[in-house]
Chain A
Amino acid sequence: MLDESGLYRLMTWLSPSFPVGAYTYSHGLEWAVETGAVRDRQTLTDWVEGVLLHGAGRSDADLFREAHGAEGAALDRVIEVADALRGTAELAMESANQGRAFLTAVTASWPHPRLEDLATRCRALERPPAYPVAVAVAASAHGVPLAPALTAFLHALAANLVSAAVRLVPLGQTDGQKAQAALADTVHEAAAAALGRDWDDLGAAAPVVDLFSMFHETQYTRLFRS
């Protein structure tokens, strides 16, 4: 069960004000807006639903689940896979930068030996902590149960994409919140699916996100780093 201290931690760590720079990443959405694939509330909702169920919302949720509670060699394996399982240069940067920033900020403000351990392992492996791995280990270290932590993580992924679209399309704040509300069931579905999935089924089915992220690398006018 999630107690009040767990709720407080999740709300802090996954709030847009936690200094990971989430607002600078669009996860390929900037190209989707450029081409008109995302142009209004409905197309935005559909896009984010796909990301949650078939894209990073699937593979990062698998990694989150495995990292939560993993220790020793098992944690090393998740660190490696989570770093390598990145479709494009910008998607890799998005995850690595946020993971590093998260681990630095959370270690400073909510210290725990397991966070030090994660940093030590990443240095030894010469890999950044992927964002889902950093958040999952922090949650686990501080006694925040997996299910609510994963839901909060996926909620933040959706909220960040919605916020990017509000700026890019542009959409009104109310339309953004309507999209966020419409995505509630999808967030729960993605979290529940991940909790029941095997490590052997780790993966995603969102090649459009990868392609759009590749196209974003050469997009002429860009506000976002991914």
Chain B
Amino acid sequence: MYAVTSPSERAAAEPSRLHGLLHVSAGPRGLRALEQRAPLRALLPRVPPGEPLTACLTNTAGGLVGGDSLTVAVEAEPGGRLLAMAQAAEKVYRSLGPDVRMDVTLTAGEGAWLEWLPQETILFDAARLRRRTRLDVAEGGRALAGEMVVLGRTAHGETVRTGLLRDAWEVRVGGRLAWMDALHLEGDLRRAVDASSGFGGAVAAATAVFVGPDLEDLRDGLRDLPTEEGAMRGATVVGGVLVARWLGHDAQAMRCDFGRAWAWLRHRAEGLPEKLPRLWHV
């Protein structure tokens, strides 16, 4: 017997293509550590006065395929202030089998401010993504973190039909497990996407969580913000965490709404400028 394997099948069967790694941490006097391994890189742009130290993450590979893994650790040490953001939307291409793994660990120490500002993760049809985001906030720390996913290259009229999208959150406050979430779609994705109680036909979804003081006031303020046409936004306080969620029938409208709510939150919660970094809009 001869095994017949096409080049593309062999490529897909390789245990891993890329293992990107990035670790950035900030203390009260600025950058404390920066470690990076291709294809992940961090730029530290000059920021306007009043803005925290900003790390802008890029994936120089220009997208992810099955078998790739990215490991990101972002830390604001006690008294430190750090904004980490993605420079561009991340594309996850069709997989012939293996999953893309993204492992994000966010840590905010006592008295620290940490911001993890996402761009969209765009899932191509038949892409497979498992992402886990762990947020660990010490007593007296504040953190704002989010993720956005878009189902298909919607600008090209593409939707996703099969594949895997797993986006899991684990939030700890003062060491105690406070809130978990696990979005899991697999197989025939249309079933969940089209279901009235599933995605209700939406093409994009987003989540933001905030840990810090005055959660109920922030929730009420978020609810009073006008919502962009084509997007739905809700907010709740559960397990000592403010959770905001979005669904978009129009991915661009949802992004807009997400950005506006984010700017409002960072301003109201931390007194930061009520806008997002210029790089986020590029």
- A residues bordering B, Cβ < 8 Å? 28, 32, 37-38, 43, 46-51, 53-55, 58-59, 80-81, 83-92, 201-215, 217-218
Contacts and interface: CB of A to CB of B under 8 A. Distances in A.
Given A84-B180, A203-B184, A214 B236 contact: yes
B181 A85 contact: yes
A54 B186 CA distance: 10
Contact of A53 (B177, B192, B239): B192
B276 interface: no
Given A47-B196, A84-B180, A207 B245 contact: yes
B183 A204 contact: yes
Interface of B: 166, 168, 170, 177-186, 191-192, 195-200, 202, 205, 223, 232, 234-239, 243, 245, 247
Given A46-B196, A47-B197, A217 B181 contact: no
26 contacts: A32-B196, A46-B196, A48-B197, A53-B192, A54-B185, A54-B191, A54-B195, A54-B198, A59-B182, A84-B170, A85-B182, A88-B234, A88-B238, A90-B236, A92-B238, A201-B186, A204-B182, A205-B183, A206-B192, A206-B195, A207-B245, A208-B195, A208-B198, A209-B197, A214-B234, A215-B234
A120 B239 CA distance: 21
A47 B200 CA distance: 10
Contacts, number: 120
Contacts of A28: 197
B194 to A, nearest CB: 9
Contacts of A213: 236
B215 to A, nearest CB: 10
Contacts of B192: 50, 53-54, 205-206
Contacts of A205: 183-185, 192, 198-199
